[in-house]
Amino acid sequence: MALIGILFALAGAVAPETAACSKVPVYEAGRAVGSTCVEALDRGLTLIDLSDSWAQRIFSETAEKPQEYRATFVALANERFGQGRAWETARRDRYFELFGIFPSISVVRARLQDERRHACHAAVDGAPLRQLGRTLAPWTATKGAERARVSRAIAAAQQHLACEGLMGTAAPEGVFDGPTQERLRTYQRRHMLPSPGTLDSETRDALLTDSHELDFRTLLRVLRERVADASGLIEDGSAANAWEPILGRFIDSSEYRHAMRSQPLDDGAPDLVDRATEAAAVALGWTSPESAMRALAAAAGPDRIAVRLPPLPAYHARPLALRAEIDRGDVWTSYPLDFEGRPRPSPVKNRPTFILYALTGDGEVPLVRWATTIGSWKHEKEDGEAEVLRYKESPVGRRYWVDLVAAPAWFPPPTTPDRELVRRRADGSWAPDDDAIGPGYRSAYGLVALLHHRAVVARDGTTSFVDIEIRTHGSGNYRSILRGSSHGCHRLFNHLALRLGSFVLAHADHVRLGLIDQQYARTIWWKGHVIKLHARSRGYRYDLLPSIPVDVLPGRTVRSRAGPPAILPMPREPVPAEPAPGAPLAPSTIPGT
H, E, C per residue of 407-473:
CCCCCCCCCCCHHHHEEECCCCCEEECHHHHCCCCCCCCCCEEEEEEEEEECCCCCEEEEEEEEEEE
Q: Are 300 and 487 in contact (CB under 8 A)?
A: no
Within this chain, do residues 200 and 344 fall inside the same structural domain, yes or no? no
User: Could you tell me the pLDDT band of residue 10, with boundaries at 50, 70 and 90?
Assistant: very low
Our separate counts of H helices and E strands in the chain read: 14, 21
Which pLDDT does position 471 carry in this prediction? 97
- Looking only at the bridges linking them, the beta strands covering 529-535 and 387-391 are unpaired
pLDDT class of 13 with cuts at 50, 70, 90: very low
Please say which residue of 188, 212, 236 terminates a domain.
212
In this structure, the answer to whether residues 327 and 205 fall within a common structural domain is: no
Q: Domain end: 183, 212, 241, which one?
A: 212
For residue range 292-314, list pLDDT tens digits in order.
999 998 767 899 999 999 999 99
The alpha carbon of residue 275 and the mean position of all alpha carbons in its chain are separated, in whole angstroms, by 20
- CA distances for 58 relative to 469, 501, 508, 557, angstroms: 21, 6, 13, 36
Question: Is there a domain that residue 471 lies in?
Answer: yes
User: What's the pLDDT tens digit per position in 20-37?
Assistant: 788 999 999 999 999 999
- Same domain? For 379 and 519 the reply is yes
Tell me, yes or no, whether 327 and 453 share the same domain: yes
| Per-residue pLDDT, 169 | 66
Same domain membership, residue 331 and residue 190: no
Task: Please count the other Cβ atoms lying within 10 Å of the Cβ belonging to residue 191.
Answer: 22
- Residue-wise pLDDT tens digits, 107-121: 999 999 999 999 999
Is residue 511 in some structural domain? yes
- Domain termination residue (choose one: 212, 243, 276): 212
Asked if residue 554 and residue 411 are part of one domain, the reply reads yes
Query: Are residue 337 and residue 195 in the same domain, yes or no?
Result: no
- Mean pLDDT is highest, among 378-387, 410-419, 494-503, for 494-503
pLDDT at position 384 is 62
Within a domain: 129: yes
What is the DSSP annotation of 110-174?
A: HHHT-HHHHHHHHTS--HHHHHH-S-B-TT----HHHHHHHHHHHHHHHHHHHHTT---TTPPTT
Distance between CA 353 and CA 130 in Å, rounded?
35
pLDDT for residue 557: 85
User: In this structure, is residue 296 part of a structural domain?
Assistant: no
pLDDT of residue 19: 56
CATH number of 483's domain: 2.40.440.10
Task: Count Cβ atoms within 10 A of the Cβ of residue 467 and give its class: 0-12 exposed, 13-18 middle, 19 or more buried.
Answer: middle
**Residue 254: Cβ within 10 Å count:** 10
In a shared domain, residues 203 and 342: no
> Which residue segment(s) compose the domain that 328 sits in?
322-558
Q: Is 104 helix (H, G, I), strand (E, B) or coil?
A: coil
C-alpha closest to that of 430 among 534, 536, 525: 525
Whether 70 is covered by a domain: the verdict is: no
Is 468 found in the same domain as 328?
Answer: yes
This prediction's pTM: 0.89
Alpha-carbon distance of 343 to 281, in angstroms, equals 49
Cβ-in-10-Å burial (0-12, 13-18, 19+) of 37 comes to: middle
Task: Give pLDDT tens digits for 380-394.
Answer: 887 766 788 889 999
Same domain, 478 and 332: yes
The reply to whether 407 falls in a domain is: yes
Tally of domains within the chain = 2
Residue 10 counted as domain residue = no
User: Three-state SS string across 382-423, please?
Assistant: CHHHCEEEEECCCCCEEEEEEEEEECCCCCCCCCCCHHHHEE
DSSP β-ladder status, 304-308 and 397-406: unpaired
What is the average pLDDT across 115-138? 95
Domain membership flag for residue 502: yes
